[in-house]
Amino acid sequence: MFLLREALPTDLDQLRGLARTLNTLNLPDDSARLKRLVQISRESFDGTYRKPRFRDYLFVLEDVAEKRLIGSCLIIAQHGTHERPAVYYDVHNEQKYSSTLDKLIIHRVLQLRFDYDGPTEIGGLILAPEYRAHPLKLGRILSFVRFLFIGLHRDLFRDEVVAELLPPLNDDGTSDLWDCLGRNFTGLNYREADLLSRDNVEFIRNLFPSKPIYTALLPEHVRKIIGVVGEKTVPARRMLEKIGFEWDNSIDPFDGGPTFAVKTDDCAPIINTRRLAYLGPIAQDAAPDGQALVALDTLDKEQPDAEMKPRFQAVYCDYRLAEGGAEINLPDLPGFDALARGAEVGLLPFD
């Protein structure tokens, strides 16, 4: 039995264990940073922050039987602010023609850009390795809980959603693109630059060239990985493409990983998310319509005793649409086990 919910302060030790498997910008292997992230997430869920540039929402996936956190994911309500702009390379083609040689050359060009009023970003998805081949496809469930939440609270998010995907990296976790470009401009290695960028990107703005960079000047093996996802990231790219995401012709300036984007109101799972009434379990003589993520969502309700309780939690279970709502086979979990008929739930059906 698996439960998706917002992260709580009591999750910190297990979150640190998850962070060690990847140690990304969005889920760093650092106790102080994780504690701050959980605090920001809690204050985002309880409505402390009214403006999107302050809000991050951290979700966890719990194996209830094992009492173990096995995954996490994140929504950054606004990626790119006045305080910390999003930085990226715009990738485009530029034509050069010589009449003397009667020769046309199409160059691939990298142009450094900054975004101070950015989109919503989904990121930080980590699933414990031993659960990655689970028949329930837990990685997809973990990823889609973010779209369910955005669909239920569309007004909290921007009009575009982006996802930065991991590129092919070296076995030691370093980036050939960074070694060919960023290291020459900053004197920092990949890990040093990655750590520094978690606080600010001022050094990128002031040390990187503002003029276009022609990729023809880069080694061939570096040119080949620009905008390419790593082998382990291909399933995530395919999933995003299936629900409307496309590469927006930008890459991360540190490692060359591509950014995929979709208009929020064109994203299939956000469109398919709905609020409806719970009508009890599915009748014994009726077949379910399929499986869905079903959420108990109290984000907009007063909860004076909610200090250590999640305002948002979701489960994956069978459902059947019926007149006036949906019949749902809810699990025997706190909150779901005592849900009254007619109570409102959030529902995101799966294919």
For residue 281, count CB atoms less than 10 angstroms from its CB and return exposed for 0-12, middle for 13-18, buried for 19 or more: middle
Inter-residue contact 162 to 259 (CB < 8 Å): yes
Helix, strand, coil proportions of the chain in percent (round to 5)?
Answer: 30, 30, 40
Q: What pLDDT, on a 0 to 100 scale, did the predictor assign at position 191?
A: 86
Nearest to 259 by CA among 138, 129, 80, 81: 80
Where is average pLDDT lowest: 4-8, 49-53, 269-273, 320-324? 49-53
**Burial degree of 266 (CB within 10 A; 0-12, 13-18, 19+):** middle
Cβ atoms within 10 Å, residue 286: 11
Quote the pLDDT of residue 101.
96
DSSP character string of 183-230: HHHH---HHHHHHHHTT--HHHHHHS-SS-EEGGGS-HHHHTTTTPPP
Whether the per-residue pLDDT at 243 is higher than 80: the answer is yes
Print burial letters for 211-238: b (CB count within 10 Å at least 16), e (below 16): eebebeebeeebeebbbbbbeebeebbe
| Whole-number pLDDT of residue 48 | 79
Phi (first) and psi of residue 290, to 5 degrees? 155, -155
Beta bridge partners of 274: 347
User: Could you tell me the pLDDT band of residue 25, with boundaries at 50, 70 and 90?
Assistant: low
Q: How many residues does the chain have?
A: 351
Sign of CA dihedral 31, 35, 41, 44: negative
For residue 310, what are its two tokens? Answer: 């999640």
Q: What residues pair up with 108 in beta bridges, in sequence order?
A: 93
Tell me, what's the pLDDT at 135? Answer: 93
Burial of 273 (0-12, 13-18, 19+ CB in 10 A): buried
pLDDT tens string 204-238: 999 999 999 999 999 999 999 999 999 989 999 99
8-11, Cβ contacts within 8 angstroms, sequence gap of 24 or more = 8/38, 8/42, 8/308, 8/310, 9/35, 9/38, 9/39, 9/42, 9/308, 10/308, 11/38, 11/60, 11/69
Given a cut of 60, whether residue 306 has pLDDT beyond it is: no
Residue 180 C-beta-side C-alpha neighbours within 13 Å: 19
Q: At what angle do helices 12-19 and 31-45 cross, to 10 degrees?
A: 120
- In the chain the first and final C-alpha atoms are separated, in Å, by 21
Distance CA 75, CA 237 (A): 17
The residues that bridge with 164 in the sheet, in sequence order, are 259
| pLDDT for 303 | 60
Phi/psi region, residue 109 (left: phi>0; alpha: psi -120 to 50; beta: rest), is beta
pLDDT at 305 over 60: no
Alpha carbon distance 133, 149 (integer Å): 25
Q: What is the pTM assigned to this prediction?
A: 0.93
Give percent of the chain with pLDDT exceeding 70: 96
* pLDDT grade for 33, boundaries at 50, 70 and 90: confident
Q: 87-137 pLDDT, tens per residue?
A: 999 999 999 999 999 999 999 999 999 999 999 999 989 999 999 889 999
302 has pLDDT over 80: no
Which pLDDT tens digit goes with each residue over 53-82?
889 999 999 999 999 999 999 999 999 998
Instruction: Decide if 115 contacts 86 (C-beta within 8 A).
Output: yes
For 235-272, the DSSP string reads: HHHHHHHHTT-EEEEEE-TTT-PEEEEEEGGG-HHHHH
Section 342-348 average pLDDT: 97
Query: What are the structure tokens assigned to 35, written together?
Result: 């504690």
pLDDT digits (tens, 9 = 90+) for 155-210: 999 999 999 999 998 988 889 999 999 999 999 999 899 888 877 889 999 999 99
